[in-house]
Amino acid sequence: MAEVKILVQGYATCATITLVRDKNIVMVCDPGILDSQQILVDALAKEGLTINDVNYVFITHSHIDHYRNIGMFPNAKTLEYYGIWTGGKVEEWKEQFTDDIKIIKTPGHNYDGLTLFVKTKEGTVAICGDVFWKENYPENDQYASDPEKLQESRQKVLQLADFIIPGHAGMYKVK
């Protein structure tokens, strides 16, 4: 089973930054905006990792508060809406990324929204960016590009996940 760990808990202007490990995959999700990149370097060090160990960076959507630090991982491929980027090449990603990681398009907050569903020992964790900003976030997302699609995406996430890591707060259990 894969493992999920929040490296930096998000807040209003900083996305939650999450680590996913699955066999040979070391993935950082939404490396966001930080006062200093050293915060993320230190969080990885607590997990026995360096920026050179990260081989994938996953972006939930293309808002800068979720992707600004993407370039700090020299050995990582970037997995985002349009594909998996390596240098100047892009290849398609598969919805069933590994046995324990699934990627689903979840538009609404932004047209290019993705959610990572990760099977762990505790249950399925959804890393969903701003599909949910935090637990008990108001139903009306003032920043949503398509409120109707956002509601559909939220329902999909709630049906498939046991836990949610929202875009700007700590993990919580689906009720």
- Ordered structural domains, the chain, with CATH: 3-173 (3.60.15.10)
Convert the pLDDT of each residue in 150-173 to its tens digit. Answer: 999 999 999 999 999 999 999 999
Residue that has been written with the tokens 């920026």 in this structure: 51
Q: What is the pTM of this model?
A: 0.97
Tens-digit pLDDT profile for residues 25-75 = 999 999 999 999 999 999 999 999 999 999 999 999 999 999 999 999 999
Please name every residue paired with 90 in a beta bridge, in sequence order, or none if there are none: 85
